[in-house]
Chain A
Amino acid sequence: MSRYNRHIILDEIGQVGQDKIAAAKVLVIGAGGLGCPVLQYLAAAGIGHLGIVDFDLVEESNLQRQILFGTSSLGANKAIAAKNRLADLNPTIALTAYPKKLTAKNALALFEQYDIIVDGTDNFATRYLISDAAIITNKPVVYGAIYKFEGQVSVFNYASGPSYRCLFAKPPKAGQVANCSDVGVLGVLPGIIGSMQANEVLKIVLELGEVLSGKLCCYNAKTTQIHTLKVHKSEQEIAQVLARKNSFHEFDYEAFCETPVPEIAAKEALSLKNIQFIDVREVGEEPAISLENCVRIPLEELAINIAQINSEKSNILVCQTGIRSRKGVSILIEHHLENCYSLKGGAIALLNHLKVESK
């Protein structure tokens, strides 16, 4: 077979190595900026079985870097669109698309079916979920993450090495670290980092060279500098994850990594044009807000009353102290409403501010 000739003629790979590649089963989570180059090179290399997990749909703004997709894939599920492209690239391998979200409920059963897990996701909740599920199922994770012009690569949980939690034990505070969709990313950067991840997968499969375990490779596209930092294993972090093994499927990773919610102070809110206050407290909760542009929709009823919300306006959600309103804003964001804010300090702060202003 001439397809793998350039591998086979390498002394370090040969037919024996190519057979190892053909026997490997790799699960790639996220078919986005990182997932696309990982999948492309692993499929071309002849990885015997590739699993692709992604619930998201292809958008035009993805095409600047997500190289498995073209204009004909717009609107399609990414896992399925990637599978279709890869089936053409290499029809001799098995491909399974999982067009769904990776969750604490499905992760362990899915990981059990594969040898190596690749993390190409774009959020902390899924990164911690992958890390923990890999510890419990004892699978190596080839990790990649990017920010604007910089990327990180490592292999976690390999040959008793450190895991992601040994490096970052806890997720950063909500909203602190922005994502590509919010702050932008150089299109070629995930191509470089994803290719490095594909390389680590092949090294693990081939038992070749030195796997990037216990080290974090930091790449800067602007300076072409690489810093490779030594990472130590924390037995305590790993033991804590293993201790949750039996209740793993119940753990709420999204709450653990709280999705960022835009907040606004009363003064700033009142200076915005075209605003609508939405009081998400229960009917009868005092003090009442007697503003013309304030409607009351209790939090429990928010999701079923989405149609009532005017997306043309800046919607400011208010509760008593600013906690329930954060939850309300997450609900509106999930329903793709923009310009929604949670009012810091709630009704109490708003009324105090109005009182001061009227003096």
Chain B
Amino acid sequence: MNITVKYFGLLAEVTKRSQETIVFNKTTVAHLLEQLYATYPGLKEKDFQVAQNLEIVTKDALLTNQEIALLPPFSGG
């Protein structure tokens, strides 16, 4: 399947892109993260939440072929 992945805040700096579409055939969010960590090792050092189809999901959520967003916390004010 083709999955669109969006990177928010400093994660876009780590991956040097704000979004991309990747071809992926495994089943869970955790699997997808493994692949992203392999492509962008810097991501592994960052804390973030994952949203699928605009809903925050856990790492064991099944991929539904909908948009994924990686969301880090912001501290600024």
A residues bordering B, Cβ < 8 Å? 30, 32-35, 119-124, 127, 144-148, 150-152, 167-168, 170-173, 176-180, 185, 190, 216, 218, 223, 227-232
Contacts and interface: CB of A to CB of B under 8 A. Distances in A.
A152 B54 CA distance: 14
A121 B55 CA distance: 26
A152 B75 contact: no
A177 B9 CA distance: 9
Given A146-B76, A229-B51, A229-B56, A172 B8 contact: no
A35 B77 contact: yes
A185 B76 CA distance: 9
Contacts, number: 89
A218 B75 contact: no
Given A172-B46, A176-B47, A229-B71, A167 B76 contact: no
Interface residues of B, number: 21
Contacts of A119: 77
A123 B75 contact: yes
Contacts of A168: 47, 49, 73
B77 A30 contact: yes
A120 to B, nearest CB: 5
18 contacts: A30-B77, A145-B74, A145-B75, A145-B77, A146-B77, A147-B75, A150-B74, A168-B73, A172-B72, A173-B45, A177-B72, A177-B75, A179-B75, A227-B51, A228-B54, A229-B54, A230-B54, A230-B56
Interface in B6-63: 6, 8-10, 18, 45-47, 49, 51, 54-56
A140 B68 CA distance: 29
A227 B69 contact: yes
B72 A190 contact: no
- Give the one of B51, B55, B56, B77 with max A CB within 10 A: B77
A232 B56 contact: yes
A9 B27 CA distance: 55
A146 B75 CA distance: 7
Nearest to A171: B73
A177 B10 contact: yes
Contacts of A185: 76
A122 B49 contact: no
B9 A147 contact: yes
Contacts of A35: 77
A172 B74 contact: no
B55 A122 contact: no
A148 B8 CA distance: 11
